[in-house]
Chain A
Amino acid sequence: MGRRPDSHGSPPFFPSFQPNAMTFLDLVRTHMTVAAHPNRPRRLTMRRFLPYLLSLPALLVCIGILIPFFTAVYYSTLRFRLNLPMMKGFIWVDNYISFLTDAAFWNTVQVSLVYALVTVTGELLLGLGIALLLVRPTKINNAASIMLLLPLMTAPALAALMWKLMTNPNFGILSYLVSQLGFDNFNWASDPSSALFTVVLVDVWVYTPFIMILLLAGLRSLPKQPFEAAALDGVPRSFVFFRITLPMLMPYIITASLFRLLDSMQQFDIVYSMTQGGPGDTLMVFQVQAYLEFFQYTNVGRSAALLIVLWAITYALSNIFIKHWLKLRERAHGPA
């Protein structure tokens, strides 16, 4: 589909009002034009302090907890292994430098990124598809959307335990069904060739509902008018979807995938419960490695350095997301 001029008179962000809300709004609009200049000085002081007043409590509450974050940054500059106390010492960035030549580290970076990419993409596509299927607020669709939240409500650690049972070659219902379909040697999480598929499957099962519910709420709150206009003009539906629905939904998509991306980069429960990072190092994601380094090897310095790298990666990725989000917002609403 080329960039053809938008001749149908319904630009993507057409400000629109629902007819039944018109009366009140019209009234409001009229008022506004009449009294456009309320008493300025008071409003200005208000404007200056109010936002800080509103946002600082949230910030303070979080910062309080995050004081330990700086302790952790300090740990990452130490040679600090709890069971070799005599070796403790300040080594600047040596922990980080040692990563550069460490094949296991690069494997971890790769596995984590692949894992995050595959799960977020899969969940986004699937979640969007389901949200579109359920967009009409019928009783059945509403009930289905709530039922679909059930996997999300099951704690991932327990969900993984159940999936491990369901994919067990002896007692597992899924293994049984798959073998009935003729795949006798499909070994799920235990085989390097299918391990990633299996944990991604569980991740998709658990977290797609998260994206689905956010996009569903977003879809349902989109203004109706552009769609009605497009329908009247007989605009092809693919065009409506790609040029109207998707752009309008984009801020919701970004928020939802951002949160998924953050959690997915930090995946621990599912991978650890199902394979402990194995087989071999197939699924050795950041958090599993850092968990082992800390809780089993008690290598605090190395564990902290690993997690700081993870933190930096997620920070950079979310920065990109947020920039896009803000840009989209600005385009939608104009600069405030």
Chain B
Amino acid sequence: MERSSSLEKAIRGILITAVLLFFLFPIFWIFLMSFQTNEDILRIPPSLFFEPTLQNYSALLTGKLETAAGSLDIAFMRNLGNSLLLSTFSVLLSLALGVPAAYAFARFKFRLGENIAFTLLSFRFAPPLLVLLPLSLFFKQLGLTDTYIGLIWVYQLICLPLILWIVRGYFEDISPDIENAYRIAGHSWWRTFRRIAIPLARPGIAAAGLLAFIFAWNNFIFALILASASKQPVTVGALAFVTASGIQYGQIAAAIVLSVTPTLLLALYAQRYLVEGLSLGAVKG
């Protein structure tokens, strides 16, 4: 893998450029749209040149939207806050529940272990639509309708299986020898788990946590059905720019840019752990 001719380097460079072009061009285009008026966006044919405006962002940040039909109040920043709150706490809870469970499945072969693991995965099969109606009845009985706690609970269906199965793979790839040795040196099980196992599986935990965060962030059907307008996430907030008097593409583009930013920052932060994992993560058995 270390040897590479200059031809190979060139091919790699071209391929990477092509990949970046395909995946990032739409993002780039959305980014440009976020600085355009709807009139500029809806030109025939589309054009790269326009006079940039900040009105989309100012509308989102101040909560006032000027449209053909007058001034509208929008709750976008509140939606953004809801998304942050729901995704963060859902992932934290999932990590707290999922990482120990993943460790158990990776390290111990116990009665019903695989069955429990598969059952946990199977929560991911249940189409949300299937459970939504009964779930809303169930939530009503429990008094959890329109509460953040209820939503964070339901979000476990998205986050927990993902974290559990990805992290499990990483734990299985780490040799148990190191942990055993540490145990033998007289440390408790809990300490071993915390000081040895978790740091070694960190790249996996970081990747799984990040992906779970993204999936939680992008979900909106649960909040839509189970909560009132004040607890809706950013996706529902962005859909509000699809108005009867026209789709406000500029605002939607700006909403996408704003809603992607926190996740991007998280990814950049998590990257440290993904990279750091390389030196330790290569310790395999």
Contacts and interface: CB of A to CB of B under 8 A. Distances in A.
Direct A–B contact in complex, judged by CB atoms less than 8 Å apart:
yes
Interface of A: 15-18, 20-21, 25, 27-29, 31-32, 35, 38, 46-48, 50-52, 54-59, 61-62, 64-69, 71-72, 75, 129-130, 133-137, 142, 144-159, 161-163, 165-166, 170-173, 176, 205, 208-210, 213-214, 217-218, 220-224, 227, 231, 251-252, 255, 258-259, 262, 266, 268, 286-287, 290-291, 294, 300, 303-304, 307-308, 310-311, 314-315, 318-319, 322, 326, 329, 333, 335-336
Contacts of B255: 158
B277 A158 contact: no
Given A65-B131, A65-B135, A153 B260 contact: yes
Looking at chain A's contact residues, the main secondary structure is helix
Interface stretch (B49-57, B66-74, B116-124): B116-124
Looking at chain B's contact residues, the main secondary structure is helix
Given A62-B156, A155-B217, A217-B207, A150 B274 contact: no
B271 A142 contact: yes
Interface string B36-47: 000001111110
B23 to A, nearest CB: 5
A262 B260 CA distance: 24
A144 B20 contact: yes
A28 B177 contact: yes
A223 B282 contact: yes
A191 to B, nearest CB: 20
Task: List 10 tightest A-B contacts by C-beta distance, closest first.
Answer: A68-B134, A28-B181, A71-B134, A54-B104, A307-B130, A221-B281, A51-B108, A55-B101, A51-B104, A54-B100
B264 interface: yes
Contacts of A311: 125-127, 130
B194 interface: no
A266 B34 CA distance: 31
Contact of B23 (A47, A151, A170): A151
A55 B105 contact: yes
Nearest to A67: B138
Nearest to A171: B42
A318 B109 CA distance: 21
A64 B20 CA distance: 43
Contacts of B110: 47-48, 51-52
Given A134-B16, A156-B218, 4 more contacts: A61-B156, A71-B134, A154-B27, A319-B118
A56 B278 CA distance: 31
A35 B23 contact: no
Chain B contact-residue range equals 35 or more
A221 to B, nearest CB: 4
29 contacts: A15-B175, A25-B177, A27-B181, A32-B180, A47-B108, A51-B105, A54-B103, A56-B116, A58-B97, A65-B157, A66-B131, A69-B126, A135-B1, A144-B16, A150-B27, A152-B214, A153-B267, A154-B256, A165-B41, A171-B41, A213-B207, A221-B277, A221-B284, A259-B162, A262-B124, A262-B125, A290-B127, A290-B130, A326-B114
B229 interface: no
Interface in B247-280: 247, 249, 252-253, 255-256, 259-260, 263-264, 267-268, 271, 274-275, 277-280
A51 B113 contact: yes
A224 B281 CA distance: 11
B183 interface: yes
A242 to B, nearest CB: 15
A31 B181 contact: yes
Contact of A61 (B23, B160, B274): B160
Contacts of B131: 65-66, 68-69, 72
A220 B277 contact: yes
Interface string B179-199: 011111100010000000000
Contact of B121 (A29, A286, A322): A322
B125 A315 contact: yes
B73 to A, nearest CB: 21
Given A38-B184, A153-B214, A162-B252, A308 B238 contact: no
A80 to B, nearest CB: 11
Given A55-B116, A224-B282, A151 B127 contact: no
Given A72-B131, A155-B217, A214 B207 contact: yes
B129 A162 contact: no
B178 A157 contact: no
A266 B256 CA distance: 24
A208 B252 contact: no
A262 B162 CA distance: 11
B34 to A, nearest CB: 11
A315 B235 CA distance: 29
Given A15-B284, A171-B41, A62 B160 contact: yes
